[in-house]
Amino acid sequence: MHRIFATAVASVYPHYVAKVERKGRTKEELDEVIRWLTGYDSKALNAHLDKGTTFNDFFAEASLNQNASLITGVVCGIRVEDVEDPLMQKIRYLDKLVDELAKGKTLDKILRT
């Protein structure tokens, strides 16, 4: 089992926030992207962050967006659509969405609408 699976989402979340804010985006936009991917509402997302939920449990309880498979591209030199482990692929989806937000893509494009 990869160690990221047992890492708390709350421990990585501040890095996501810092990354998008450095590029002129907001925490609210980040939360919208996370909610789109996971199906959580604001209350559920905040509860997971407060509780220290691991990535494993975070995605196990999530209802992944039906358009998540449209997320393609490279994160850390790895094509997200080629990741074989389902949990790792979901984590890479999230990483890719954060990257797209930080790079200035519009929310419409990020959310595959």
Tell me the per-residue pLDDT of 22-51, one tens digit each, with 9 for 90 and over: 999 999 999 999 999 999 999 999 999 999
The Cα 59–Cα 72 span in angstroms is 19
67 — pLDDT class (breaks 50, 70, 90): very high
CATH architecture of the domain 3-104 equals: Orthogonal Bundle (1.10)
113 vs 37: which has the higher pLDDT: 37
Task: Report the half-sphere exposure of 44 (CA within 13 A, side-chain side).
Answer: 14
90 — pLDDT class (breaks 50, 70, 90): very high
Residue range 60-81: mean pLDDT, rounded = 95
